[in-house]
Amino acid sequence: MKWSTRVTEMLNIKYPIIQGGLAHLAYSELAAAVSNAGGLGQITAMSLPNPESLREEIQKVRKLTDKPFGVNFAIGQHGRTFADFLDVAIEESVPVVTMTGGNPKPIFDQLEGTDVKKLVLVAARRQAEKAEELGADAVMVVGQEGGGHLGRDDIGTFVLIPQVVDSVSIPVIASGGIGDGRGLMAALSLGAEGIEMGTRFIATKECVHASKEYKERLIQGNENETVVIKRSIGAPARAIINSWTDKILEIESKGGGYEELKDYISGTANQRYIYDGNVDEGFAWAGQVMGLIKDCPTVQELFDTMIRDAENIRGKWAE
Ligand SMILES: Cc1cc2nc3c(=O)[nH]c(=O)nc-3n(C[C@H](O)[C@H](O)[C@H](O)COP(=O)(O)O)c2cc1C
């Protein structure tokens, strides 16, 4: 069965499946595995210590795959400037750049004159319209089910996607709450031309930096075991519930501001959980799709299952 959408054509990939930027987790092994399986893998620029380490990571991806891949920029979330990192991505002829968490215009300006595809991850219809106006090639649109940073409006993927499809003419990629072939088909039915998955890719063999405790929580946990933190400081984000997120919510409910929260929501607290497996002394991002995750396959196995299930659905529809 042929999987052809404007997204597969534009990105030159076999299946319309994109691996989300995953701060501190999306490195060469995962990116290359996703691209080799026929999707678009990504490495996350701002998790790397400096531009030269981004260059090394890009070159590692190239040793592992000859397929297209992307570099993700979470603007402003790491308190660092991205221009030098982006220069490296341009010098290394990375075919796709994705961005989120701020105004994409400076990135677009820097990419002007290149043929790098520009994908913007947004969480609201008006943001999608703005991204199109500024020159995005496609928008990825994340609903409130998603893992990590979210929109402020609490709109779920099923309501958000068709609205964005109706309001922009560039291709829309659905994100948030997708973890299997059914989710892929549902997204396409809503008018999306591709999907982005974050949480599902963490529970794969090639997400080598995620601790086994983190992966185990994703496998064991159900859909009720995530919570949105950091809402009080205007940066809502979905994490796995634990005593650490209870403490964060307690501080937030008492009106504690950034100063009181900062040690609890720091990169160090995140890394204690996701790298060291200390599930009580830190936090980890995950979406509600955690409830659908029951195993830790290789990326190829995940693609095989998803595509088989999706094709079965297509077959049934065609009967
Ligand atoms: C652990 C984690 C880290 C994330 N870091 C980033 C990031 O650095 N950049 C980005 O664009 N999106 C990031 N996201 C969001 C994902 O790209 C994607 O939009 C989201 O995971 C989709 O929802 P899902 O988890 O239900 O698949 C992150 C998500 C998770 C779970």
Alpha-carbon torsion, ordered 147, 151, 154, 156, to 10 deg: -60
Atom of ligand 1 at shortest range from CA of 274: 1
Calculate ∠ Cα 287-105-118, nearest 5°: 60
Q: How far apart are the CA of 227 and the centre of ligand 1, in A?
A: 15
- Give the list of residues 6+ apart from residue 316 with CB closer than 8 angstroms, or none: none
Which residue positions in the chain have pLDDT lower than 70?
77-80
Helices (H), 149-211: 157-167, 181-189, 199-202
Residue 277, Cα to own-chain centre: how many angstroms?
21
CA distances from 86 to 102, 104, 115, 210 (A): 15, 12, 14, 25
- Residue 289 Cβ inside 6 Å of ligand 1? The answer reads yes
pLDDT at 192: 98
- Tell me phi and psi for residue 140, to 5 degrees: -105, 135
Beta pairing partners, 43:
71
**Of 200, 177, 282, 180, residue with least CA distance to 240:** 282
Q: Looking at residue 286, what DSSP letter applies?
A: -
Q: How far apart are the CA of 3 and the centre of ligand 1, in A?
A: 24
pLDDT at 77: 59
pLDDT at 1: 73
Residue bearing tokens 């993927």:
157
pLDDT at 318: 86
pLDDT at 78: 55
**Distance (Å, whole) CA 96 – CA 119:** 8
- Residue 17 Cβ inside 6 Å of ligand 1? The answer reads no
pLDDT at 17: 98
Q: How far apart are the CA of 143 and the centre of ligand 1, in A?
A: 11
Sign of the C-alpha dihedral computed for residues 64, 66, 297 and 187 taken in this order: positive
Helices (H), 177-295: 181-189, 199-202, 212-220, 243-253, 258-261, 267-274
Q: Which of 18, 19, 22 to mutate to test the pocket of ligand 1 (most atoms within 8 A of CB)?
A: 22
pTM of the model: 0.97
**Distance (Å, whole) CA 118 – CA 97:** 5
Q: In a 3-state reduction of DSSP, which class is residue 138?
A: strand
- Residue 36 Cβ inside 6 Å of ligand 1? The answer reads no
Q: How far apart are the CA of 62 and the centre of ligand 1, in A?
A: 23
Q: How far apart are the CA of 257 and the centre of ligand 1, in A?
A: 24
**Distance (Å, whole) CA 180 – CA 157:** 15
